[in-house]
Structure 1
Amino acid sequence: MVKIGDLEVKDFPLLLAPMEDVSDPPFRAVCKENGADLMYTEFISAEGLIRDAAKSRMKLDIYDYERPIGIQIFGEKIDSMRHAAAIAEEANPEIIDINYGCPVKKVAGRGAGAGILLDIDKMQSMTEEIVKQVEKPVTVKTRLGWDDSTIRIVEVAKRLQDVGVKALTIHGRTREQMYKGVADWTKIAEVKNHPDIHIPIFGNGDIDSPQKALEYKEKYEVDGIMIGRAAIGYPWIFREVKHFMETGEILAPPTMEERIKTVKRHLNFSVEWKGDKTGIFEMRRHYTTYFKGITHFKPFRMRLVEAMDQDEVLNILTDVEEAFEKEIIL
């Protein structure tokens, strides 16, 4: 078992990354059903929680079937982050996670997310205050550094561990890289294999196949991997990785029946949780990969992303089923 404070999770857990407007309860539900071991909420603004903003409060929604789950918060003010951590703890997650990795300008540009990598002393102080504030285990997700000249990830890991962080997830890119280039897992391995590091180290970045997941597990010896973009519209990535690690066999892709069933479940929950307009809109990013590998699917995909209400989407999915039965799409 891997221990995160008092929380025990299975050996080499697969983690679902906290992704804005993606890692919501509807998406987490289908990922959990397909093997995600530990999941995180979308990152939540500390200032939004303190102001009692509806969108931020809504992101605190968690369900028993999702457990164990972590609530992730971000912000640049130490007092606000401490206060937000206390509010998040009231939602009773298993973990409070701190976002020190978001690279987008509106977050990092003001010193939150990956922006704090330019001020390691502040990162340490903020983390220490949050650890003191809550009883739940505190974890952190971060990047290698702001840019190639500021990579101090081993020092960061040691200082975070010293103030009580119970696990660390490292995305193998700098903030400057955003999501471009190749994630450097050698530096993640430096942290994991450092003699002074005793907390679990999870790797993140570029895991998009079962083969790569197993290769990186064996090569870099991390305690688990976090999957983000590869799971968008393809929650089956978790079960495929697990099956390959256990058997060495590539699991058959989901059937058309399973794809449609999962899309409907995701869609229904999305509309129920966010309302018809937002629920429909935010499903659009998932359709391409939900039907990844299906030939001649483009006309249906275009209809799906243009659909304006739930009934229209369901009618299109019925057309997809009929086209598949007639072998118009394969």
Structure 2
Amino acid sequence: MSDFKALIVSRTEGGVSPSWSTMSEADLMDGDVTVAVSHSTINYKDGLALTGRLPGMRLPLIPGIDFAGTVIQSTHPGFAEGDDVILNGWGCGERHHGGYAERARVKGDWLIKRPAAFSAAQAMAIGTAGYTAMLAILALEAHAITPDKGPVLVTGAAGGVGSVAIALLAKLGHHVIAATGRLNESDYLKQLGAAEILDRAELAKPARPLGKERWAGAIDVAGSTTLANVLSMTQYAGAVAATGLAQGLDLPASVAPFILRGITLAGIDSVMAPKAKRIEAWERLASDLDKDMLAAVSETRPLTDAPAIAPEILAGHVRGRIVLEI
């Protein structure tokens, strides 16, 4: 098939707008592997792209920072026709055409082979959010945050990163504290494995240099005042993995937790993470993630729903993960 359907964001008189287009493979960008895309997903960054609010986005562009599919053409030595593959990040859906289309052409170095443990739909139920959650857990483990050290806090708990992080941490034996502004989701979070629910309002006030030590580790998606409070209440020799900026880019914090309690702030980058780290994360997901729990945190929608979902995810109204069928 030389022609295919794509959801493309273009500049319009009123700003930007997503629309459906028929494209040919000649319209795809440079790359040495062409993939027939079967599934994608929607992340916060995809919501920004669909609404034209993603900084540095090139237009016109096919959004979609994730996709799963099957190789149909390759000159890359690591991939052959018929290989099942996953892509997360690398600027796709930002500066390079992404996964919201029936075809994608990318560099083979950006791809990994889909673990046999997951179907394409399951891989996208995990997506960048779940893969980021696993990278964060690997960072905590690298700093010796084991279940016997104390609780682990997860902020943005009902979102994509948070939902998968809670399920993984609980299965690994951690006492998980889930911080959320959606207390009506408490039953859902407890179903995932959260032992305690914390109202995110407790983390919204200006942070003290040091607060009461409440957790050994944390995974934070918010940044700003939330992250400052999380740091101030992390116990001695603890670690915090910062994965997002849903509340803001700023960090109104003190150096006190670092120099008086010896804690570590680990930054988590999922976009440009090296291939070896990606493979490690996906291998751990294959062994540690309960697939029944994965079904509980995800729903499947057609790609045609993506523009309508975008404002919902930006407003924080989406629970868990949404798989998009191409």
Instruction: Compute the TM-score of the two structures, normalised by the length of structure 1.
Output: 0.29
Instruction: Compute the TM-score of the two structures, normalised by the length of structure 2.
Output: 0.29
- Larger RCO, structure (CA 8 Å, separation 6 or more): 2
- Would you tell me which structure has more helix in proportion to its own residues? 1
- Would you tell me which structure has more strand in proportion to its own residues? 2
